[in-house]
Structure 1
Amino acid sequence: MQARMDKKLTQAQLAQIINEKPQVIQEYESGKAIPNQQVIGKLERALGAKLRGNK
């Protein structure tokens, strides 16, 4: 969420950039969904931020 806000993106805008539904972003940020590694990769590229631990 912090990386998204630093880029001044809404959940809907970020979802559109990574070609996912806004609901996916909302659920990840609220902790309701377990993030898919493929989606995490797209989020990292779109936000230019590291979201995973040591890899």
Structure 2
Amino acid sequence: MASLRDEHRQINDTISGLGNAYNDELVLHRLKKRKLMVRDRINLIERMLDPAVRA
């Protein structure tokens, strides 16, 4: 779980660091998609650990 949170933070930092000056939309799109996939995995694991909490 900690490694997923760390990966999510690193991706977010990378996206923020690139900012609007970065012109490669494909790279930004892939980073954002990866960030969402990691976030979904974190949410899934959290729900598995505490099944009483529903999304």
* TM-score, scaled relative to structure 1: 0.32
Which fold has the larger relative contact order, with Cα–Cα distance below 8 Å and residues 6 or more apart in sequence? 2
Greater Rg, structure 1 or structure 2?
2
